[in-house]
Amino acid sequence: MSRCTVIGIGIDIEEVARVRDLVARYGDRFITRLFTDGEADYCLRRRVPAQHLAARFSAKEAAMKALGTGRSQGVLWRDVEVVRRGGPPQLALHGGARRRFDALGATGALLTMTHSRNLAIAQVALLGR
């Protein structure tokens, strides 16, 4: 078994009501600015879309913290994508997020996220050798 080192970690918590309010106020503008088409399609088909949007919003924030960039250094919201490939949610990194991931020498990313009626939480760990 090969050893991995944690080279970045991030965690975030979001209020579902805050995301619900942002969607109500800004509509498609908010959704298309922050979420990929795949993320939006998945979330908007759920019974309570705001819970799923909040979880993905939280995952994006956690990933940006793990990358050490926050929302700067060329990392855009849509550069961090939560995808489902028949198993648990995973991160797909694009653009500035992918460049930063590679520059850190990361070889993998772990994502966990959950939500309740009121809160969504996500944690991301970046792994390297």
Q: pLDDT of 62-119, one tens digit each?
A: 999 999 987 778 899 999 999 998 899 999 999 999 999 999 999 999 999 999 999 9
Cα–Cα distance measured from residue 73 to residue 92, given in angstroms and rounded to the nearest whole number: 18
Percentage of the residues of the chain whose pLDDT score is greater than 70: 98
Percentage of the residues of the chain whose pLDDT score is greater than 90: 90
Q: Which residues of 85-105 are buried (b: 16+ CB within 10 A; e: fewer)?
A: eeeebebbbeebbbbbbeeee
The answer to whether residue 1 scores a pLDDT higher than 70 is: no
The pTM of the full predicted model, rounded to 2 decimals, is 0.94
Cα–Cα distance measured from residue 31 to residue 99, given in angstroms and rounded to the nearest whole number: 24
Cα–Cα distance measured from residue 78 to residue 52, given in angstroms and rounded to the nearest whole number: 16
Domain count, the chain: 1
Residue numbers of the domain that contains 53? 5-128
CATH of the domain at 26: 3.90.470.20
Q: Which pLDDT score, from 0 to 100, does residue 126 have?
A: 98
Cα–Cα distance measured from residue 92 to residue 48, given in angstroms and rounded to the nearest whole number: 24
